[in-house]
Every structure is written in C-alpha cells, then in structure tokens.
Structure 1
C-alpha cells in the first residue's frame, strides 16, 4: 500500500511505554450510529439484485424464490422491459413521430393480464421495494433511429420518434398503462425511473452531445413528474466518472454540466462504480474502492450543495469489478474480483445510508441474451449468477446450470440486519460496520490491503452481555479462487486474521438483547468553494460556516485532491490558526496505476478546534492539480468515548482529543494560557515537545504556563514510575 512515514522521535519519546499500535477496531455496543435520519441496515436498499420480478432466466419459480428468500435479497433494476415495449408500440396515425396512445393502452392491458397469470411472481412482491425501470440509448434516443418491433408480439412497422416530448409521451404512457398495484391488477409501478443507461459514453455513436442528452432528461422528468408524482426520476447514469481526466475537463463536460442543466429536475443522481481492468494480459487494476470512490461521491455532493442548495439522493445502479477484455470462457478467478469489490464498496456506500436509495452489485442471472450461439458454444458474458455445466473442464457438456462463486457474496451477507452502532478502526485500510438486532450483533470487517492483517477487537460493554455463540464468515481468496469459510465459536475472540482484500462478518449471539442508550450522530458541513487550483507555496483558503457542535464529539476533515502522481500529497494544513499533521495514509492504494491521484484524504481534527465559522488553509510546496472538495464531518456524541491509538502514517495518536484516561487528565484543551494536569505524583515530571521533537518546556508542576508557545499542536509527555504517558495539547 502506501509508505507510512513515521516520526521516529515521537514513537521513541512519547509512545515507548506501549507496544507499536496494531490494527484495532473499537465497537461500542450501547451507542447507536445515526447518519442523517438513518440508523438501520435496510436490506431493500443494499441487498438488491439486478433483476425484475418477471425475469425468465431462472430454472424454476422455486429456485428464484429460494434465492431471494433464503438470502434475504430484493429485486431492483430492469433495463429491458421498457425498451422492449418501446419497440412494440405503433406510431400514432394522426401525429407523425409520436406513439399511438390507444396502442400503448392496449399493450399495457396485455402486459397486466400476462402478469396476473404469473401467480408465483405475486408471492415475491414483498421483494420489490426500491425497484427501478430504465431506458437505453438504443432505440430510445430520438435521433432518427427506428423502432424494432418483433413479429411475435406486435403488428407495428418500424418508425422513428420525432423529439424528446414524443419519447416522454411514451415514458408517461408506459407508467400509466403497464402497471397495477400488484397481483392480478398488474405488476407494481416502479419507485424510480432511470431515463437512460450510460448515455454520455454513447453520445458520439448517436450523433448527439452530452448537453442534448441532459435536455432530454429534463423533458422526460418534467412530463413523468407531472403525470406520476409517485415515481422518482433520475440520471444521468454515469458509466466511468473519471472526473480528474484532462485536468478536470471530464468533470466540467459531464457531471458539472449535467447538474447545471438538469440537476433541479432530478429526484436522484445515478452512477456506476467499478474497479477497472483494461487489459486482461497484465491484469493491472485501476481501483476505485478506497479513496477514489470517496472523491467521486464528495465532488458530486459538494457541487450539488453549491449549485442546487441540497444533496440529491443517489442510486448506485451498478457497482463491482469491470474487465471489458476478460469476456470469454468462464473462469472462477473473475468471480473473486467481483466478490471482493462488492463487499468493500458496499461498506463504503453504507457510510451514506441516508442518501442512497439503492445500491446494486452488477451481476445478471444467466445473461443468455448475450450468448451468440453461432460463434461460441458457451456464454462469454462476465458477471453471471449461474453458468452452464460444461463451461469448466471435466463437466458433462450442456447438462444444466449451477451457481457461480458470485453466490458467495449473498451467502456472506445473508443475515445482516438491525440498528447501526459505533465502530471505529484505527487504520484507514480497515473498513468496518456493525448492527445490533435483538440479541444479535453483526460485525463487518473488510481489508483494503493486498496483505492479510490481524485485527484486535475492542468491544465495550462486553462483560454485560455473555456470548453464547459467534458464527464467523470469512470471504477470501486462495490462488484467486473465492473461499467462504464458516466457523462457530462459543467464546469471545480477542483477535481475528482478515485475509488480503477479504471481508469477514462475525455474527454474535448474546444471552440477552442490548440496551442502546447512547448516540453518535453524523453531520456534514461543506466549504463555500470547491475545485481550487494548487500553486506552489500559495495557501488555498476555504471557509466552512454555520457549524454546530455539542459537548462531546469527533471530527474528520475530508480533503479531495486531484494531482499528478509525481506531485506531493503532503501539504501544510491549518485549521483556525492551528497546524494539523497531514496523514500519509488513506483508504485504499496509492492509485499508482491510474493516470493521476484523485482521492479523499481524511484528516482527524481535534473537536475542540471546531468553531461556528472555520478558516482552513492548505499549502503545497509544488504546483499543479486541485483541491477538489473540502467537507467537515462531525460526530456528535452523547457521551465521551475512548479510542484506540490511530495510525495515520505520521505518528500513532488518539483519533480525538479530550478523551483522556483516568490516570492522566489535561485541561483545558485547547488553551491560550494555562494547562492543568491531574493524576501526577510528586515524583512525576513533564516535557512539552514540538512536532519536530524539540523539548520546549520541562517542569514538575501540575499547572503549566504555555502562553509563550506559538499557536499549534504539541505533545505533552509525562515520565512516571510506570513509564512514559503522552497527550496532545493545543495552544490557541
């Protein structure tokens, strides 16, 4: 991963009493973690399958029901039905270039009657909550292309739509006539409409432009929202959001333009996130998981706040692993990359559980439509839930279908549910989450490192809740083949070993249910500007205003950076006049295989430094690139919490200030004059060190005058009979 540059003097002088900090996860069983208005694991949003309730690729209705019910999966996205019906409708004989409204009504009635007969589907309607229908550029973009009616199902002749309004007429008629309220009345109307799938990457092929596609979104959205206010309309369904390309011209010409042109009419924004491999011979991966995903999502949100005055809701309508050159005979190694990316990306998306309407890992059932039988004996499509027997050596050819290793993703996450509680890893490359449901705890760990790691589990309140059983599911790889181990334990595990880029879910069963009486509430505050160019030795200034704080809390400053790979990622950061150490570590890899670094670096900020109106400056020693976003995330805590030593690549330190152990208390922090120390004996002595290791003050008194120090962060070290103890202090 990244080089973690340690300040050796601080380790030696201030932390010599402790073992070097290891990967540790703090879990507070009694503290609900609230994001916006959400604190639940909503499976209908996050365990969603890319399929319609009328999908016809299952071996049987029983198999479909078993998959959805046994693994508690919901149905989410259909990009085929609306396209099919669009092709079958006749042209209005009285209005050239427009669909025939009577034929739409007739075809819709046929569709509803057909669904009424599919009684097995009716029994699964509870699996449709955040369902979405979506269009395709072909044939739905009106640029002269003709419809393609099928002789089996329509007497229409090919014709072309006149304009966006004519297409919007069909969208509205489709929602009016093709759906009912479930059961014999017809399939339930979708919650969401995704206007077009990945249209910008296809604009040139259809002799149009991004801005024209955005205008089509406006026309469709306005018509649908007028006729169907119960349906959310969104887009633009970005395929490859590489905002940093061409020094952020990609951003300007795609997302920024779309938000400017159509953002007000969108109920949600949709985009796709993939770890990407362009050449299957080298398998060099351009990973999004980690800091790059964070930078993409923060930039959309930050600009939305500045332009629209709000954060739009999202559909992550596809995510996973994408290798366009890897299609061919099935090989199970490809499944591991998807299982790995699905889980780690899901944990990152869960951090925004209040904003996301649905998040859909991209895999299809059999993708039989992609099989060109004239050219290939077997299907060459990539992410499939089922494959044909005979695709692997030693199997009887064409003898049925079996699940691929992608089923292991759903098996891994099958039981997770409940109320979110506080977790905090001490390393950016350890992703975590936890949910409590009655007497159950679901603890989730995911490793962004390409090496395995040992994780210490630090669970508060554990003595109050005797453990009856722990079922540990571990999804990892051996020789790039997906493994899913399940092991049961009857006692608490102090440590677990998490495989390289692996995900582990520990399902605890306790003797009694939990008392979740405390709260941790997230808040986001956006700087008044974004996408600022970097000039050498010229500070980039930001303001974050109208910030609210409480008596107890934590804070993270999320800094988006887009810079060439040979540029520094180590600026001088000042918050309200105080220098803050800048991390040498962040989520995921160093993006060495990308054209440039584009990621979010998260900087722990002393909560006591945060004011209502905040001034932040970032100063690099070299030219080039941009500070793309600046967002302050605060956590309001109902009570103080203890945190394990945090690893940011500079120096091991507690994540927050003001959370002191009983044996040593230092207050007030920050201070402009006197510091008071409690917990010292007459034999103890102290030193105040600069971050460069220089001893600035030495004494044995319990009240310290720091008025002569410059504003900034310092280290207080206390030499006791039991060793050296240390605390950060702030002169302000």
Structure 2
C-alpha cells in the first residue's frame, strides 16, 4: 500500500487535546504478520527467561514431575541454599572457613550431587540465594566475605552445572530491623552494610573469573515513591551507588498484594513500568548503559484467612503473573531472567500444616496417600493452568499494536504456527477486534486457550478449536492465547526495531507552571516510517493532575488520559507511567521534551523515549536486474539477501556446489542451464515489477525428487493458486494467477516433498479493469461517531473493499465489506479504533482486494490524503491555559469547521482576536447543546478566544490557527 502523506506544518496539524466527553473507541489490536518485531536486536522469544518455576531439582521430585515440566516447556529455577546458608553455623562458631576446607567440602558436595537420583535434572539455569540472617553480620569484613563466597562457587560446582546467578540474600532490606542489635546500628547502617556485602561479592566473583552473574538486592517492597522518593534514595539508589558497579543485574520483586511490607495494592500496569524505568534510567546515567533486570520473584499475594487449599485461592497469583509477564516480555533485551513465584512441593510447609500445601505450590499432597508420614501421591494445584495456557508458545516476534492501555498484547510465529496473545487489565468485559493488516497465509485451524480467574469462584481454563474469529471478548483479567495452524511458515517483508532512549534529566520536582526539560540525544531515525512514545513516570498525590502540557521539539503533543492498570486509589500516592504518543516525523537526532504542570508538588521520576523504526527488507535485491512481467525467470536467479530474505534453507548449504556456491540453495546442473532443489518447506524469492494489475498464466518447469512434490507461489504469504504438482520426470505445471500492480517479491515454496525447479514463465492473459474511487468529496473524519464514506467500484469478479484510516504508521480505523462482480456504489461505515491524536500525517485509503485477502497489495485503490479532523471543544472542561489551545489544520478551501458541545444550550458564539476585536459572530435562533461553526473569515495565524454564551452563562476557550 502506498503510504503517501500530506505534510502539514510543524505543529500537530491534525490533533486536538480537547474532547467533549471521553468517547471510548472500539478496542482493537492491529497485527502485521509481514513485519518482524525487534526489541533492540532481540526478536526470538527466549522461554527460559519467562516460563520458569521457583524450585530446584531434588529428592522430593519424581521423574514424572520433571518430565511434566519438560512437556510444558518450563525451566528452573531458584534455590535457598547458598554459601552463607551452607556455612551459617560454622561461621557463627569459627568465622569464615579456610580455602582448604571449602575445597574439601566442595569436592564432597560435587560427588554427592553426581551420585544423586536427581543429578540428571541439574542445570546451570538457577538462582542461588539465602535468608538475610545467614549472611548479615555487622562486624564481618565484607571483602573477606566476598572472597569466601567466590571460593565457594568455584569449588562447590563444576563448570557445566555452576549456577548462572547468585543473589547473595533474599529481600534483605525489609529485614534490616533484625540486625540493629538493640539500637547499636540504625536500619540505614544495616542496609549500607548489606550493599557492601553485595559489592565485594560481585568484585570477588569477577576476580575469580566465574561466569556466575551476581544480582541484587532483591527488593521486596519497591514503593520507590514513598516519603517523596526517599524510599528510592535510601534503598535502590543507595544500593546502585554502593554496589551497582559490580552487579551484573538488578533484582526486583514485583507483586500485586502485600509482600512482607506495604499495602494490598497492585504493581501490575503503570506502577511496575515506572519502577523499572527509574532503575534503567539511573543505570544509564551512571554507566552509560542499562544493566539488565533479574525479576527473581513476581506474581500476586492473595489475602487468606487460613491455610486450607482451594483452587480459588491458588489461582489468584496467576492473574498477576500474567499481567506482569506481558510487560516483562517487552523488556527481553534487558532481562536476565524472570521467575514467577510458583514453587514446587515445599514439604517444610505441608508437614507442619496438616498436609495443606504452601500457597505458592504447583503440587499438593493427596491426604489419602500418606504412608509412614509421607505422601505417596500428589495432585497439581490450579497453578498448572498457567503452564497449560503458555505451553508451546514460542518463536519470532511479530508487530502488534493496540489502542487500549488496559489491553496487553504479544504475537509470535514459530514455523507453521502463529500465536496472538491477549491479556486484559480491565475490571469489566471488553470485546477486542482482531485487525490483520497483512497476510498470515492459509490457516488450517485456530485454537483458543483461555484462563478466566475470579475472586470468589473457581477458575475456568478452556482449550478448544474455533472458527477463525474476527473478535474476542475478554472477561476481567482474562488471558487468551490464539494459535493459528498455517499451511506454511510466514515470510517477513519488513521489520520494526524498537529502541529506547533515556534522558540524563530525572527525579525532577514539579512546580506549578515551571517547565521541566528532558533531552534525548543520538536518536536513530533512519527509517521513513515509524512510531514513537514517551513514557512519563510521575509520583503525585491523587488530587494532582496527571496530564501536563507536553512539547516535543517545541510542538505540543498530548499525554493520554489513561494508563495501564487501575487508578491506584488505594495507594498513598499515585506512582505510574503515562504514555504520550509522539509523531515519528517530529523527532530529530537530538530532541528536547518540555513538561509543564499547572499545580505544585510531586516528582517526574523518569521520562523514556521509545522509538520504533519500520524498515523494508532492504537487503533483498534482484539477482540480475528488475524482472518486469511478463517474463521467464530462471529458478537459480533468486533474490540476493541471504537466508530468510532471498531464500529459506534447512541447512544453508549449497550441497551441489554449483553456480552461486556461497548461497544456501541447492543448485545443480540442469538439462540446459541450472536447476534448484527445494526440500519440503524451503523457498526462494524473486522480486518482480508489475506495471498494471493483470491475469497471467504461470508455467513452472520442474520434477519431483520424491514420490510426489507440490510447490506453491505466494505473495504476502498468500497462495495465488492451487499447488503445482510434479512427478518424477521433468514436466510443466500451469496455473492462472492474478498479479496486483507494484514492485514486490514472490516466493516459490516446496509445500510437499522435494522438488527440482528449472524456471518460472509468466505470460500475460488480460489486464484487470477493476477500479475504486471515493464518490463524494467528503474528507472529514469525526471522532466519537461512525464515519460513512461512499465509494464506487468496478469489480471483475467478487471482491472485498477495505477501508483504512492511517495516522503515520498506525492503523486508526478499518472496515471490510464484500462486493459482487460488477459496477456499483456502496456506503461503508468506518469506526475509529484509535483517536487521531498526535498524528501529523493522516490518510484514508479505499482498497479493492481479492475476496478474503489480507495482502497489502491491491487490485485497485483510491486515497484521501488531505483530511479534516474535526475535534469537539467542550465548555464543561475546567482546563489549564496550555490545554485550552486546540490545534487543527490551516483553513482548507477558505474555511474550517469547529464543533462545540456543552451541557447547557448554546445561544451565541463570538470569535475574538487578542486585540479584543470580534472577528466572527454566530447566533442560534434554535439553541442547542452542540453547534457547528464555519470559520469563513480572513483569519491570520495566531491565538483567538472563543466566547461561548449559553443558558448557564459565558465560557471562554482559546484556539490556535496556523
């Protein structure tokens, strides 16, 4: 699709920051399976960073237990038994052990482990930690303690099973009061001493050359905003200042509910984002890079009155786990590991509590199976549904967006499977439209897995095959995983690369009407299209505004009036991240963001700039020259670009060593030239140029190297004909194909068996006469209502008409209707799924496509690229001066329309310049709550007052005309 946009002025020409009432746009996700998504340089989902369990292998676990974890794709883990725990009693009596004792004990420990029944399940992926009481001794030399810990890890493990992570003690700062020795030390001194332990342990590990990463401090209660951010200053910031240089990552525990201290509040959503953003920002300031996170515990902590097991109580934690995991997945490029607090069997608990399981357990003992005071059988708790839900989800990230802050989304492709994952933060039902903006290919089956969690009812987990849905309804906090079985793997034609930038300006105190400035330097902007957002994290009292005036490079943009998750009303202060959409075209290499609040108090803790550049697969170029159809293409002349761009090969080796010997496609001598050999699922790409949409006869010369082979030609992942079959002798398979106009790659894929291909010949049969056009000149886009557009069309066969509203690189609204062969006109209703706010470049496109096609290539199209977006000004808004400026396009065709709405009936409106001169007057004999003004006067650029006279009095608004 051609994305040509009119460039208005360097103001947000099509945006408004005043809306009458909050009009809920339809919730939707936009999924682009042709665009591979990168988080910096990470695209593949690493399951070992997310789908873990808080346990270590041991004598309590049967082979079947470990096999079940493997079947789920679950990895380990975290264990409480480290250097200080092992030697706790010894240290109390004798001090730190000698190197010789550590070596002898270590050799015995290794031998014992190797002879255990569970050694086969021991892996390097493990976080080792201890209770604070095992380590913290206020008089101990922390340098010597660090060397001891390093020696322990050196001699107690062999290289192939030494744990990847060491978190010396768990949640130490919330236990600081236990080490004050009756007032001899302050809690602050205990925290400082603890940080020194971590510092010297990190130093010693590096001096010993250990590959184990040291992380800390495992913050149990990261309410950074408390006491005007003194919690941040006295805990995590202090830890980073003292120990951070020697840490490989920073560990934080994120919980909804009460974790040791604090209130029964929620971190999932904007709060957890603000916490991690501040840690990353300060890391970047101190070391010029973001040190990664180790989220060694996270989830939810339900309130219980007893230890009696129920599915209802057990599953409550998983609601929070899913919320938080969706957010953590967007930080994989700076994530060492994250471990949901789902534990194993915990005999220490059930043996002391009448065989009732620990609340975090995945397994629970069968009370009817107790023999010799030991369970002989276990059941799974309701937590198993978390692992059932996510079983098999893997692969490469795909570009996916949503307009709803309370909807979390992820999408992946893995071979012949595609996954769309949705998670609702809302407390009411929501229906989510699924908008696929590019081809997914032929879908043979759709499966829906769903986990619904209720406060006072048993959870409902479902796993069922369904018809391909256009929308999904989510209950509060529900998670849905849609699995699409594909006939063939997806082929990417674009990539989106997300990079995040941190300002050195942070922790800025808010004062009324004082500008706070944040700079972002060396921003990469080497793509024509893209997305950008600011994440502004603030800590303020609840009665203070959360929507300041924001300018990016001198241009006003609008902060969203919503944020991820709940309103935080049960917290002492609001502390959360609020997003601010920014037009990609506003950005420069060096950028200045100005934030102004109208009221005092509070802090802007961090501002992060997220930039997503969207690229075509520019590495793909024709092998010889542009291939203009009609033409004959030699199969060996596939595109240059290498693996996954010019071709897909199972081993990336040319096993025959002919012609293009450094490429991974099998090329052999043919009868007259060269032939290629494609094993099942392998493909080659050919970039063609089609001047006009047309029907071609496709003839492919090939043979089967197996009993039978079939190849298929695709455009944008969609088959253009039935499979082409070959037998053992070289033969020609033919098909009639429609080729849309444009310059694009086609792909020849071996769908069944192994095929030898000589050449592809395209012969023109007829030019397509399909046409589409907007009938009326109505190029108005109105928010809060359904927009109807009339289009005329001439369809050579049954087609679909797709109507799309684009803002920069965002799909803001779409509609699809089926039309029959012939010529006619049709009215199409377009619903706005995202407000056209903060987008400089709008385009409304009508596309005529193949019936059911999701391809971005069109048989015919028409475009409006000069649009009026009519905002609604409300006289009911009690807005600040900066928010009382509405921006809209230069008057088009000599006039501009404004809609006004009020709770009382409007009788008269005057437009007044800043010299007090009345420029326009509008009187209404039939007063109404909503009126439309046609500004037909000779307006100059500048600010004007809009004086609204209604039954309830007079209100004045300000507008800006440029």
The two structures have a TM-score, normalised by structure 2, of 0.63
CA distance in 2 between partners of 1:119 and 1:506 (Å): 39
- The answer for the alignment partner of 1:110 in structure 2 is 108
> Structure 1 pair 213/687, CA: closer, same or farther in 2 (3 Å)?
same
**TM-fit CA distance, 1:445:** 0.2
- 357, 378, 381: which one pairs with 1:401? 378
**Match among 61, 64, 68 for residue 62 of structure 1:** 64
CA distance in 2, matches of 1:310, 1:118: 42
Q: Distance in 1 between matches of 2:101 and 2:22?
A: 76
Gaps of 5+ in 1: 13-19, 145-161, 183-187, 678-683, 712-728
Q: Is the 8 A contact 2:943 2:960 kept in 1?
A: no
- CA drift at 1:322: 1.9
Pick the aligned partner of 1:198 from 168, 171, 196: 171
From 108, 118, 126, give the equivalent of 1:131: 126
- Cα deviation per residue 1:372-426 (whole Å; 9 max; x = unaligned)? 63xx32346321111223499xxxx967321100011011011100000100011
| Corresponding position of 2:227 | 246
1:526 aligns with 2:519: no
Shift of 1:674: 9.7
1:446-481 CA deviation, whole Å, 9 max, x = no partner?
00001121110011223x611111111000025442
The answer to which structure has the higher strand fraction is 2
Contact 1:555–1:634 (CA under 8 A) maintained in structure 2? yes
SS of alignment partner, residue 230 of structure 1: coil
Aligned match for 2:429, one of 444, 452, 455: 452
Aligned residue for 1:141?
A: 136
**Matched residue of 1:653: which SS?**
coil
* Residue number in structure 1 paired with 2:650: none
SS at match of 2:235: helix
Q: How does 1:433-582 map to 2 (within 5 A)?
A: 433-462=410-439, 465-478=441-454, 479-489=456-466, 491-549=467-525, 550-582=527-559
CA–CA distance in structure 2, aligned partners of residues 516 and 82 of structure 1:
49
Matched residue of 1:553: which SS?
Answer: strand
Give the corresponding residue for 1:189.
162
Q: CA deviation at 1:686?
A: 6.5
| 1:468 to 1:218, Cα distance in 2 relative to 1, 3 A | same
Partner of residue 941 from structure 2, selected from 677, 691, 708: 708
Tell me the equivalent position of 2:841.
658
Distance 1:357-1:582 versus aligned 2 partners, 3 A rule = same
Under a length normalisation based on structure 1, what TM-score does the superposition of the two structures give? 0.82
The structure with higher relative contact order (CA 8 Å, sep 6+) is: 1
Aligned position for 2:191: 210
Taking a change above 3 Å as real, the CA distance of residues 523 and 690 of structure 1, as seen in their structure-2 partners, is farther
CA contact 1:90–1:100 (8 Å) conserved in 2: no
Gap change, CA 1:380 and 1:77, over 3 Å in 2: closer
Query: 1:621, 1:51 → 2: CA distance?
Result: 50
Tell me which of 285, 288, 293 is aligned to 1:306: 285
Deviations 1:676-705 (A, max 9, x none): 99xxxxxx99736599999898579xxxx9
Asked whether the 8 Å contact 1:50–1:363 carries over to 2, the reply is yes
Aligned residue number for residue 274 of structure 1: 255
The alignment partner of 1:315 has SS state of: strand
C-alpha distance in structure 2 between counterparts of 1:8 and 1:731, whole Å: 18
Offset, 1:268 = 0.7
What SS is found at the alignment partner of 1:248? helix
Paired with 2:561 and 2:414, the residues of 1 have a C-alpha distance of 37
Equivalent in the alignment of 1:29:
33
Residue 319 of structure 1: how far off its partner (Å): 0.2
Specify which of 369, 373, 382 is matched with residue 348 of structure 2.
Answer: 369
Change in Cα spacing, 1:488 to 1:121, as seen in structure 2 (3 Å) is farther
Please tell me whether residue 165 in structure 1 is matched to residue 168 in structure 2.
no
Residues of 2 paired with 1:674 and 1:431: CA distance?
A: 33
The CA deviation string for residues 596-651 of structure 1, in whole angstroms up to 9 with x for no partner, is 100000111112221222222222222111111111111101167441359xx998
Shift, 1:261, TM fit: 1.2
Return the match for 1:256 from 209, 233, 237. Answer: 237
TM-fit CA distance, 1:659: 5.2
* CA pair 98-120 structure 1, distance change in 2 beyond 3 A: closer
Decide whether the 8 Å contact of 1:7 with 1:651 is kept in 2.
no
- For 1:121, the equivalent position in structure 2 comes to 119
Residues 89 and 104 of structure 1 are in contact (CA less than 8 Å); yes or no, is this contact kept in structure 2?
no
Secondary structure at the counterpart of residue 354 of structure 1: helix
How far residue 8 of structure 1 moved from its aligned partner, in angstroms, is 5.2
Please give the alpha-carbon distance, in whole angstroms, between the structure 1 residues aligned to 2:575 and 2:341: 24
What is aligned with 1:595?
A: 572
Quick check: which has more Rg, 1 or 2?
A: 2
2:811 matched to which residue of 1?
643
CA displacement at 1:163 relative to structure 2: 2.4
Go from structure 1 to structure 2 and tell me whether the alpha carbon gap of 1:363 and 1:11 turns closer, same or farther (over 3 Å shift): closer
- 1:99/1:169 contact within 8 Å kept: no
Asked if the contact 1:278/1:324 (under 8 Å) is kept, the reply is: no
* Distance in 2 of aligned mates of 1:210 and 1:437: 46
**TM-aligned CA distance change 1:9 to 1:370, over 3 Å:** closer
Partner residue in 2 for 1:176: 154
- CA deviations over 1:93-125 (Å, ceiling 9, x no partner): xxx622132222222112211222235532x45
Structure 1 stretch displaced more, 406-415 or 20-29: 20-29
Report the alpha carbon displacement of residue 654 of structure 1 after superposing the two structures with TM.
6.0
Contact 2:124 2:162 in 1 (8 A): no
What is the alpha-carbon distance in structure 2 between the residues aligned to residue 400 and residue 214 of structure 1? 44
Q: Which moved more, 1:245-254 or 1:569-578?
A: 569-578
Shift in alpha-carbon separation, 1:141–1:278, aligned structure 2, 3 A? closer
Partner of 1:343: 322
* 1:379–1:206 distance in 2 versus 1, CA, 3 Å: farther
- Give CA deviations for 1:138-173 in whole Å, capped at 9, x if unaligned: 2222347xxxxxxxxxxxxxxxxx422332233122
| 8 Å contact from structure 1 (residues 444, 504) kept in 2 | yes
| Structure 1: distance between partners of 2:303 and 2:179 | 21
CA contact (8 A) 2:31 2:438 kept: no
Q: 2:284 and 2:99 mapped to 1: Cα distance?
A: 40
In the superposition, relative to structure 1, how do residues 690 and 312 fare at CA in structure 2: closer, same or farther (>3 Å)?
Answer: farther
Q: Is the 8 A contact 2:497 2:614 kept in 1?
A: yes
Q: Specify which structure has the higher proportion of helix.
A: 1
SS of residue paired to 1:643: strand
2:135 and 2:303 map into 1 onto residues whose CA distance is 24
Range that drifts further, 330-339 or 196-205: 330-339
Secondary structure of 2:459 counterpart? strand
Give yes or no for contact 1:530–1:627 (8 Å, CA) kept in 2: yes
Q: 2:746 — aligned with what?
A: none
Q: 2:465 & 2:423 partners in 1: Cα distance?
A: 19
Residues 120 and 266 (structure 1), Cα distance of their counterparts in 2 relative to 1, 3 Å cut: closer
**1:292-329 CA distances to partner (integer Å, 9 max, x unpaired)?**
00100011111111222221111000000124765622
Indicate how the Cα distance of structure 1 residues 365 and 278 shifts in structure 2: closer, same or farther if over 3 A, else same.
closer
Deviations 1:515-546 (A, max 9, x none): 11211111112223111111122222222232
**2:82, 2:168 within 8 Å by CA — same for their partners in 1?**
no
Alpha carbons of 1:686 and 1:337: their partners in 2 closer, same or farther (altered >3 Å)? farther
| Cα distance change of structure 1 residues 337 and 323 upon mapping to structure 2, 3 Å threshold | closer
Deviation at 1:440, TM superposition (A): 0.8
- Aligned match of 1:719: none
